[in-house]
């Protein structure tokens, strides 16, 4: 069965790791460095030893739309919980009919803080998951588990 066509009330389904996620909304949150050639407002030295800003943004992976951006100074911390929550709240406000939707928020390790996880767990949704990238050490440990584990 083909997925229904996207409408303003329903985003298209998305495939992740060859699995079609029906009725899920996927929000990607990430920061980037935007360099500045001159003394712009908010421009400072960055952790990458450049000069500019360090905005944090959220996109809807289902539609490739930018949902929210928080302009931050170049020396803004990568895992600032308040900034992540601000961006996620603003992103959710951009999604029509999102209450009760299955929601997946994808953040790199900058989002791995207890306070952010507590915030995400408090969202009105029936499905929640938290994960991390599997490393070689993880795979080795998993290989030692008994078959019935």
Q: Please write the tens of the pLDDT for every residue from 37-73.
A: 878 787 888 888 888 888 999 999 888 899 999 998 8
Residues 76 and 8: their CA atoms lie apart, in Å, by: 35
pLDDT for 4 equals 52
Could you read off the pLDDT of 83-120 as tens digits, one per residue?
999 999 999 888 876 555 678 888 887 788 889 988 88
Three-state DSSP class for 66? strand
What is the C-alpha radius of gyration for the chain, rounded to an integer number of angstroms?
Answer: 18
**Could you give the CA distance from residue 130 to residue 121 in angstroms, rounded to a whole number?**
10
For the segment 112-137, the average pLDDT, to the nearest whole number, is 75
Q: Which of 142, 131, 82 is nearest to 105 (CA)?
A: 131
Mean pLDDT of 112-135: 74
| Two structure tokens written together for 31 | 């920061």
Helix (H, G, I), strand (E, B) or coil at 25: strand
Which residues on adjacent β-strands are paired with residue 103?
Answer: 25
What per-residue confidence (pLDDT) applies to 99?
54
**Residue range 117-146: mean pLDDT, rounded:** 76
pLDDT value, residue 17: 73
pLDDT at 3: 52
């Amino acid at each position: 069965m083909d997925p229904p066509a996207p409408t303003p009330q329903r985003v298209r389904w998305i495939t992740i790791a060859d699995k079609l996620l029906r009725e899920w909304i996927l929000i990607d949150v990430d920061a980037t460095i935007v360099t500045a050639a001159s003394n712009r407002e908010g421009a400072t030295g960055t952790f990458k030893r450049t000069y500019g800003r360090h905005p944090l943004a959220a996109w809807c992976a289902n539609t490739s739309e930018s949902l929210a951006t928080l302009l931050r100074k170049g020396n803004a911390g990568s895992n600032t919980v308040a900034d992540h929550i601000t961006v996620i709240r603003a992103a959710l406000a951009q999604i029509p009919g999102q209450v009760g939707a299955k929601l997946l928020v994808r953040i790199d390790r900058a989002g791995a803080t207890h306070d952010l996880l507590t915030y995400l767990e408090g969202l009105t949704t029936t499905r929640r998951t938290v994960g991390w990238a599997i490393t070689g050490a993880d795979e080795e440990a998993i290989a030692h588990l008994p078959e019935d584990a």
